[in-house]
Chain A
Amino acid sequence: MDTILFEQLHSDGLISDGALDNVKTAGKSRLFSLHWELRTLLYLGVLLLSGGLGVLIYKNIDTIGHTAMLLFIAMVSAGGFIYCFKAKLPFSTGRVESPNAFFDYVLLLACLSFITFIGYLQYQYQFFGSRYGLVTFIPMLVLFFSAYYFDHLGILSLAITTLCAWAGITVTPTRILQDNDFNNNTIIVTGLVLGAGLITTGVLTRLRGIKAHFAFTYTNFGMHILFISVLAGMFQFVTIYFLWFFLLGGVAFYFYREAMRSKSFYMMLMLALYLYIGLSYIVIRLLFYTLHTDMGGVYLSFLYFIGTGVGLILFLIRMNKKIKAA
């Protein structure tokens, strides 16, 4: 902080003597925080270690023997979980802080090695036979349990992605559009059910007050899955696309109310963009497939994008004001 500035503010009578002293002492004993550097380092450490162990196992499978390998992974996982059970603060349905800086990462390592353990068990011994679903289902249960029991948002996100994997879709943030074949009807229905389920869970989480701070994570995953599934449905079932558009409008309206309630600019932006994609699809479809316009259609579509772009900007600016005032 700039002490000269605060002296100026002080002589203008804007801040009190005590405040000026505070600023001066704070300026003298200015601490340099290494918080994010160290957290990143820890995180990278866990990433490298769990990744490296995976490759190590894969490469040395012939020499070490499967049982030894399994035992080793199980020990890493069990050790981590034992530490967490011992170190954790008492469970509560509210937010529980982690007891120390490493707790979160030890838990992460324990959960990740548990996933490796189950996968390895199935890969090598066909432990679950042909019930492949169990390979994701069991880790999912453990992840959900750990997320709630130890209060870990990262693990909750992992649990949700595992739930989706179990249901058959990939929801990793950057891979949600690449890895899923949204031309497949089952996946669209799965996405709809899953999205709605996650959003409902989010609402229940908030209303019942069971780990209320988990609500955003549920709602966020649910929102994207639901919107993308509805849009995919619209592109897929072209004959009844306007019905899907109504559904899209309904979802968007729900999130509009949600955004207003929780004062979330993020949600407002997302619903506006998803709705805009749906609307633009319909307009382009009408112009080129239904009305068969050629050059005129091109001009019209350009005008449409310019006009709606300006409109949407005005809408966002107005909503911004409205949320702030709310």
Chain B
Amino acid sequence: MIAYNNEWLRNLLIRNQADKAHETSCISKTEKEQVYNAYPVGFYTPNIFVRIGLFILTVIIVTFSLGLFSLLFMEHTEQLGILFVFFGLLVYAGLEMMVRNRHYKSGVDDALIWMAAGNIIGGLNATTTILPLVNALLIFAMALFLFLRFTGMVMAAIASLALLAVIFYSLVQLGPITKAIMPFVIMTASALMYFFVQQQLANKKWKQYASGLQSISVTALVCLYAAGNYYIVREASISMFNLSLQPGQDIPFGWLFWLFTVAIPVIYIVRGIQKKDAILLRVGLLLVAAVVFTVRFYYHLLPAEIVMVTGGVVFIGIAYALIKYLHEPKYGFTYKEQQHDSMLMDKLHAESLVIAQTFSGPSLPPDTGTQFGGGTGSGGGASSAY
């Protein structure tokens, strides 16, 4: 089912294990090289920067090819949508060809997956008007197929979102009762999806899909929360199901949704710590922000700046206490950085860029011009340097 060379994929997993073992200095460099030699991988997988470059360029090439293609055939057909679908199929053929040409996560295959799917779905929609339910089904089928064939994380997430959309749209048609229980249905579906995926993650058979399955877990956890979030339930009921509320009136079972809004992130975090599950823990921590925003949207308990200052102090305090506490590893937790996480961050000095981005320096009053004259001494230096 997977388009890439299966043996190489297996060998790649073994190589990754050897890399990790080498980074934690369990095995020596020569041992790592021996493992590398015993398990050859023939994929063309360049580093992240080349990958980004190839992605951008492939998108440019395909876009202008589509333009050229449309220009050539436009006179012969009224149906531009059909052209798009046909072009999408061509892109897919190109994708299969590139994959056979040893491209694996090279940026080229990443881009072609997107372009093929986008053209086919977009083209079908341009041809006729398609019901949301049918569209969701189409996207689900397409994303699931691309996930199974190319193991991508994003396609996995899209497939799981589309599946929830299918459930949503098919139940909406049935009447008022299903509308009323919709949040519970979506929550149950997300939970089932999460547990199903957790089961499959343990299965050796799906090793190649591990990253995709993890991305489905994240999607399922977020959707489970979103479906029970008070803000989302309330606003969705008003805008999609025409629920009319008098001022001061609450939605049915409002207290239950408030409970979900606050309790679910806590459950995620607690379970994440208990199971040492990074996904549960990180999703839980992110959702704490959602709790704060939801509560503040309906109850202006405190002015924003007070919340910010106390929040800041609390965050710094918690981080301070935990870093001190975990100075020596306790209960299997540590503050020490794991080596393989830091490689890419280090390369671009990501943290310093984030700081420059979020805290901009002092701003000048607008009436000042530039303080630099045109050609000072350093200006002369510039031209001579080249």
The segment from B182-190, B228-236, B317-325 found at the interface with A is B317-325
Asked if A281 is at the interface (CB within 8 A of a chain B CB), the reply is no
Asked if B309 is at the interface (CB within 8 A of a chain A CB), the reply is yes
Asked if B359 is at the interface (CB within 8 A of a chain A CB), the reply is yes
User: Once the chains bind, are B318 and A41 in contact (CB under 8 Å)?
Assistant: yes
User: Once the chains bind, are A161 and B349 in contact (CB under 8 Å)?
Assistant: no
Q: Which residues in chain B, 288-309, are within 8 Å of chain A measured between CB atoms? A: 303-309
Known: A22-B26, A22-B27, A101-B335. A193 touches B34 (CB 8 A): no
* Distance in angstroms between the alpha carbons of A118 and B361 in the assembled complex: 11
Asked if B241 is at the interface (CB within 8 A of a chain A CB), the reply is no
The segment from B60-68, B145-153, B166-174, B251-259 found at the interface with A is B60-68
Known: A32-B278, A165-B361, A200-B385. A298 touches B71 (CB 8 A): yes
User: Once the chains bind, are B315 and A48 in contact (CB under 8 Å)?
Assistant: yes
Q: Which residues in chain A, 300-319, are within 8 Å of chain B measured between CB atoms? A: 302-303, 305-306, 309-310, 312-313, 316-317
Asked if B175 is at the interface (CB within 8 A of a chain A CB), the reply is no
Q: How many residues of A contact B (CB 8 A)?
A: 111
**Interface residue SS majority, chain B:** helix
Known: A136-B364, A157-B356, A167-B371. A46 touches B336 (CB 8 A): no
Minimum Cβ distance to chain A for residue B97 (Å): 14
Known: A157-B352, A217-B349. A299 touches B68 (CB 8 A): yes
Asked if B337 is at the interface (CB within 8 A of a chain A CB), the reply is yes
**Of A38, A55, A139, A196, which contacts B304 at CB under 8 A?**
A55
* Distance in angstroms between the alpha carbons of A313 and B50 in the assembled complex: 9
Asked if B351 is at the interface (CB within 8 A of a chain A CB), the reply is yes
Minimum Cβ distance to chain B for residue A163 (Å): 9
* Distance in angstroms between the alpha carbons of A271 and B173 in the assembled complex: 54
Asked if A34 is at the interface (CB within 8 A of a chain B CB), the reply is yes
**Interface residue SS majority, chain A:** helix
- Chain B residues with Cβ below 8 Å from A146 are none
**Of A42, A166, A251, which contacts B319 at CB under 8 A?**
A42
Closest residue on chain B to residue A54 by CB atoms = B305
Known: A59-B305, A158-B356. A45 touches B52 (CB 8 A): no
Known: A41-B318, A156-B352, A190-B370. A196 touches B362 (CB 8 A): no
Minimum Cβ distance to chain A for residue B68 (Å): 4
**Of B71, B285, B358, which contacts A47 at CB under 8 A?**
B358
Closest residue on chain B to residue A29 by CB atoms = B332
- Chain A residues with Cβ below 8 Å from B250 are none
User: Once the chains bind, are A14 and B312 in contact (CB under 8 Å)?
Assistant: no
- Chain B residues with Cβ below 8 Å from A140 are 361
Q: Which residues in chain A, 114-144, are within 8 Å of chain B measured between CB atoms? A: 115, 118-119, 132-133, 135-136, 139-140, 143
User: Once the chains bind, are B364 and A165 in contact (CB under 8 Å)?
Assistant: yes
User: Once the chains bind, are A31 and B21 in contact (CB under 8 Å)?
Assistant: no
16 CB contacts below 8 A, A to B, read: A5-B17, A6-B17, A9-B35, A19-B21, A32-B333, A36-B337, A38-B323, A42-B320, A49-B313, A53-B305, A101-B323, A136-B362, A158-B359, A165-B362, A269-B49, A303-B68
Binding site for A on B (CB under 8 A): 14, 17-18, 20-21, 24-28, 31, 34-35, 38, 44, 46-47, 49-50, 52-54, 56-58, 60-61, 64-65, 67-68, 71, 108, 276, 278, 281-282, 285, 303-309, 311-320, 322-323, 326, 329, 332-338, 341, 347-349, 351-365, 367-372, 374, 376, 378-379, 381-382, 385-386
Given contacts A9-B14, A47-B312, A217-B349, 16 further A-B contacts (CB under 8 A): A5-B17, A6-B21, A33-B337, A33-B341, A34-B334, A45-B317, A112-B359, A136-B362, A158-B356, A158-B359, A186-B369, A247-B386, A250-B386, A254-B385, A266-B49, A313-B61
Binding site for B on A (CB under 8 A): 1-2, 5-6, 9, 12, 14-16, 19, 22-23, 26, 29-39, 41-53, 55-56, 59, 101-102, 105, 108, 112, 115, 118-119, 132-133, 135-136, 139-140, 143, 153-158, 160-162, 165-170, 172-175, 186-187, 189-190, 192-194, 196-197, 199-200, 216-217, 247, 250-251, 253-254, 265-266, 268-269, 272-273, 298-299, 302-303, 305-306, 309-310, 312-313, 316-317, 320
